[in-house]
Structures are given as C-alpha cells and as structure tokens.
C-alpha cells in the first residue's frame, strides 16, 4: 500500500479508497480516536478504531508519541472538526513511547513554555508551535532561492573558514589545529600561527560579503545564503552566535537600486509564505492573539499576524535619511523625557534597537529604510559620499525586530578604499585580493545582508530568535 502524507490525505476526495498513513500519535481518545501527525502539516488526521475488533494488547501500545502505521479507508467524518477521517483496518507499531517517560517531556499533551521547549530542542519540532515555525522557515528558505533564481542571480558558496574580518568588529571565533596546551610560540611569546593548519590565523566567517563582491564583479549578480558566526556576548532575544545570512551583491547597482532590490526581495518572500503557509500562519496568529491577552492594552499588537505581513507587501517602505531620523528622535517625547536608555543628543549617534523600533512602530508605523549614515559608525567598505562625512549605507527597520537588513553601495575607488583601511589600521596585505578588484575594471556595485532568523522571526510572529532556528547557539549554550 502506497504511503500518503497527511497533508495530501486531508485534501483528498478519494472517499472509500484505502490508504496507508504513517506518523506520530498526538492523542488517543476513548480507545477509539487516534490523532495522527506526520509533520507535513499542523493538522492531524483522525483515525477511527473499531476497538471491539482490534487486539487489546496492540491498542495499549498506541500511546502519545508512538510512531505508528495505519491502513484504512478514507471516509467523510461523522463528527465535527475534520472533513475526512480514516476508518482503521490495521495498525502497526513502528516505535513505542513509554507513557511514563513521555510525561516527563514536552511531548505530553499539555501547554509548555517556550523556555521548556528550548530545553528539549531535540523533540520540540513535534510541538505545534515549533513545527509551524520550522515549516515556515523551510518555505522561506525555498522562496529566497526561488527569488534570486527568477531574477538572474547566481549562488556563490563563500568560505566558512576565513582569514579576513569583513565587519572589522573583531568578534570572531578562532579556528585552530594547534595544541591548546602547548602551542608553538614566537620569540616575543605570542602564538606562532604560521605553524597552524592554514599557515595563518583563521576564524569562522562573520560575512561572505567580501568574497561575494569579487564574484559579482565577474558574474554580475550573485548571492550567498549560509551560516555566519559572531563571538559577541549578546544574551538577548534578537542575537545568536550562529545564524544564517542572505547576502546579494550586484555589479553596477547604486544605493537606490540596492534599496529597490531589498524591498522587492522582502515583499516576494513574505508574499510566498502568505500564499503557501496559511494553516501554519493561522495557528501562529491565534497563538499570538492568546499571548496578547496576557499583556496590557498598550502593548498588544495593532494588527493580526497575517494582516501585518499583508501590510508589508502592500505598502512602500518609507525612505528616510539618517540626518532626518536623528532630528525626529531628538525631538520625540521618549527622548525629551529620557525614556530611552540611550538618549539622542547629537548627530553621529549609533542608533540602538529602541530608536529603530520607535521610528518604525510609533512614528512612521511602517517599515523604514534609513540611508546615508555617518562614516564613523559604518564599515570601511561603504562608499563615501561627497560630503566626506556620510556613506551610502542603508538599513531596513521592521516592527518588532528593529534592523532586519544592513547594506550599502560599496567603495569602488581604490585610493579612497586604501585611505579608509589605513584609518582603521586594516593591513592592505590581508585584503590584497579585495583591493585587486578595484584595479581590474572597478565599477559601482552594491549589496546587503539579511539575517535569515530575523526574517523568520517577523514572518512567524515569534518573539525570541532562539525559537526560529532548530538548535540555537548563544553564550553558554552549545547543547544538542
């Protein structure tokens, strides 16, 4: 008998036909009704057992969490809550689940906190909340590749182990094969990395951008989509030590074209999940409504989840210069009344999440693209404007998230790039290959980075980034 996924079975009109379905038992009521789920959808298929004509010993093994194979005819449901159900002919136990042990886990049929789910991350995908988030994550990932493929981009697989620090932040995880107890030393007592595996000091990448730039200056339009790492001691609901980044780079694109690309891309992938993830979005939306009931009225969401996603794809993002944003923030009530943790006093301040969210959620009430930031607070590779003090950088700010995209027009002028590197003490010999691209047919080019988990966070309505990646890595946590 051919196995059929639950999602297809629930949509089938093949009444009276026999099917085989496999999955895990969510519940078994009255020794008669099995709720079976195989992960293909948030919905269960109800399997109705004629217990009087079924082996009693077998039925005792049909417990929550057990993996079973059910064969039976698809029938119109006699009860409410489902359109069709399986009239069970046979049950095969694929894998037992001891009820006493299940009671100790998040598989037990009761409400568990998200923190509890994180403690049992190896089985949390079998819960409705995590299952919905991970299916949606997968669909978003597919939409990312589909968008770039449809728009003439080539995927570039950039190195995970690198000798360069694209951000200049220094918050990197070191990769070494040297004996940590007795590493080779130089005469001055420092570690001699020339004897290491790669012959130099290397780290896990913080970004594939620099390498992607080199490929854009040959293939025209490229993107990377891979893991990145930050050894940043940020124990917050918005930061991870290991996360996935989407980074397109486009030759001959200026800052305006870069903003157009980022906005079009975000609208496309959000539109894709709105079209293909209705069941999971409906569940996540109801979950958010229940969570909101516990909050004060002022803190409740002004839109339902799907309304919020539809709003993003139906409206233009507001484009605002950094200078205009600073003026708005300096004169706003939270700043004047010192409600912000970081008070905005002067131009040049590095905006914090509280400032970004104020602009998006309170002032403009829509996604915002900030551009033309002070050069002093941005990376060396960003194109210097004619005023000599700002760069052609842009950040996209989203409600509930803050910054979701960071990008810029890249500095294509060799002399200016060298000056900026010298000012930041970045040795030219470390990035000789990057500088070479400014010697052999340099051109205007731009790109951006989008933290994939922040995109999933927004699309699911979840509030902690640790709940939208299978096994989160953050300070003190490398379990599983």
Domain 128-171+206-467 class in CATH: alpha beta
Q: Which of 427, 432, 385, 383 is nearest to 408 (CA)?
A: 383
Q: β-strands 202-204, 174-175: how paired?
A: antiparallel
Reading the block at residue 119, the tokens are 């403690």
**Residues in a beta bridge with 92:** 69
Is residue 284 scored above 90 in pLDDT? Answer: yes
- Residue 22's CB is within 10 A of a number of other CB atoms, namely 17
370-419 pLDDT, tens per residue? 999 999 999 999 999 999 999 999 999 998 888 999 999 999 999 999 99
Burial degree of 261 (CB within 10 A; 0-12, 13-18, 19+): buried
185-226 pLDDT, tens per residue? 999 999 999 999 999 999 999 999 999 999 999 999 999 999
Is residue 109 scored above 90 in pLDDT? Answer: no
Q: Give the whole-angstrom CA distance, residue 445 versus residue 92.
A: 60
Q: What is the mean pLDDT of the chain?
A: 94
Q: Give the whole-angstrom CA distance, residue 169 versus residue 450.
A: 18
Is the pTM of the predicted complex or chain greater than 0.85? yes
At residue 188, φ and ψ (nearest 5 deg) are -85, 0
pLDDT at site 167: 62
Q: What is the average per-residue pLDDT within 270-298? A: 94
Q: Give the whole-angstrom CA distance, residue 27 versus residue 37.
A: 10
Reading the block at residue 461, the tokens are 């309505």
CA angle 247, 250, 256 (to 5 degrees): 95
Reading the block at residue 148, the tokens are 């770039």
Enumerate residues 6+ apart whose C-beta is below 8 A from 114: 129, 464, 467
Q: Which of 371, 396, 388, 391 is nearest to 379 (CA)?
A: 391
pLDDT at site 231: 92
Q: What is the average per-residue pLDDT within 156-173? A: 82
Region of 199 (left: φ > 0; alpha: ψ -120 to 50; beta: rest) is left
Q: Using CA atoms in the order 297, 298, 302, 305, what is the torsion angle rounded to 10 degrees? A: -70
Q: Give the whole-angstrom CA distance, residue 322 versus residue 331.
A: 14
Listed range (26-30, 159-163, 235-239, 287-291) with the worst mean pLDDT? 235-239
Q: Give the whole-angstrom CA distance, residue 223 versus residue 217.
A: 12
pLDDT at site 400: 83
pLDDT at site 297: 86
Report the SS3 class of residue 375: helix
Q: pLDDT category, 2, cuts 50, 70, 90?
A: confident
Listed range (55-64, 166-175, 314-323) with the worst mean pLDDT? 166-175
Q: What is the average per-residue pLDDT within 65-80? A: 94
Domain ranges of the chain: 6-110, 128-171+206-467
32-57 pLDDT, tens per residue? 999 999 999 999 999 999 999 999 99
Reading the block at residue 89, the tokens are 């002919």
Q: Give the whole-angstrom CA distance, residue 213 versus residue 229.
A: 19
Q: What percent of the chain has pLDDT over 90?
A: 89
194-205 pLDDT, tens per residue? 999 999 999 999
360-369 pLDDT, tens per residue? 999 999 999 9
CA angle 419, 423, 426 (to 5 degrees): 90
The secondary element (H helix, E strand) that includes residue 323 is helix 322-330
Is residue 249 scored above 70 in pLDDT? Answer: yes
Burial degree of 145 (CB within 10 A; 0-12, 13-18, 19+): middle
Report the SS3 class of residue 309: helix
Q: What percent of the chain has pLDDT over 70?
A: 99
Is residue 65 scored above 60 in pLDDT? Answer: yes
Radius of gyration of the chain (CA): 27
| Residue written as token pair 């810029």 | 408
Burial degree of 25 (CB within 10 A; 0-12, 13-18, 19+): buried
Is residue 446 scored above 60 in pLDDT? Answer: yes
Reading the block at residue 31, the tokens are 């020794």
120-151 pLDDT, tens per residue? 999 999 999 999 999 999 999 999 999 999 99
pLDDT at site 169: 55
Tell me yes or no: is domain 6-110 CATH 2.40.50.140. yes
């Amino acid at each position: 008998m051919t196995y059929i996924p639950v999602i297809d079975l629930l949509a089938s009109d093949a009444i009276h036909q026999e099917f085989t379905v496999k999955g895990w038992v969510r519940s078994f009521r009255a020794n008669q009704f099995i709720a079976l789920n195989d992960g293909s959808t948030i919905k269960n298929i109800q399997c109705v057992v004629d217990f009087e004509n079924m082996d009693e010993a077998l039925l005792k093994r049909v417990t929550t969490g057990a993996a079973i194979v059910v064969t039976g005819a698809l029938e119109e449901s006699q009860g409410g809550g489902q359109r069709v159900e399986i009239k069970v002919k046979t049950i095969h136990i694929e894998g037992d689940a001891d009820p006493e042990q299940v009671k100790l886990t998040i598989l037990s049929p009761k409400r568990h906190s998200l923190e509890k789910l994180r403690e049992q991350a190896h089985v949390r995908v079998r819960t409705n909340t995590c299952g919905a988030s991970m299916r949606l994550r997968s669909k978003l990932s597919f939409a990312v590749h589909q968008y770039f493929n449809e728009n003439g981009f080539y995927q570039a697989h950039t190195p995970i182990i690198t000798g360069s620090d694209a951000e200049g932040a220094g918050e990197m995880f070191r990769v070494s094969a040297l004996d940590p107890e007795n590493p080779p030393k130089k005469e001055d007592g420092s570690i001699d990395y020339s004897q290491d595996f790669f012959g130099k000091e290397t780290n896990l990448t913080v970004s594939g951008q620099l390498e992607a730039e080199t490929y854009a200056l040959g293939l025209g339009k490229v993107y990377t989509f891979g893991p990145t790492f930050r050894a940043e001691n940020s124990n917050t609901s918005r930061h991870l030590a290991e996360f996935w980044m989407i980074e397109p780079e486009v030759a001959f694109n200026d800052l305006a074209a870069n903003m157009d690309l980022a906005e079009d891309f975000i609208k496309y992938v959000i539109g894709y999940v709105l079209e293909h993830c209705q069941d999971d979005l409906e569940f996540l939306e109801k979950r958010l409504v229940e969570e909101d009931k516990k909050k004060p009225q002022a803190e409740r969401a002004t839109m339902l989840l799907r309304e919020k996603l539809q709003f993003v794809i139906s409206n233009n993002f507001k484009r605002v210069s950094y200078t205009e944003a600073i003026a708005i923030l300096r004169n706003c009530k939270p700043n004047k009344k010192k409600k912000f943790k970081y008070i905005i006093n002067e131009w040049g301040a590095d905006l914090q999440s509280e400032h970004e969210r104020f602009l998006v959620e309170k002032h403009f009430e829509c996604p915002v693209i900030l551009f033309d930031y002070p050069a002093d607070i941005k990376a060396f590779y960003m194109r210097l404007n004619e005023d000599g003090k700002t760069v052609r950088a842009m950040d996209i700010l989203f409600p509930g998230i803050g910054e979701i995209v960071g990008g810029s027009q890249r500095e294509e002028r060799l002399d200016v790039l060298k000056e900026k590197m010298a000012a930041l003490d970045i040795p030219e010999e470390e990035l000789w290959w990057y500088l070479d691209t400014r010697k052999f047919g340099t051109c205007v080019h731009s790109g951006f980075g989008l933290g994939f988990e922040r995109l999933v966070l927004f699309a699911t309505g979840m509030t902690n980034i640790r709940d939208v990646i299978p096994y989160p890595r953050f300070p003190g946590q490398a379990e599983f």
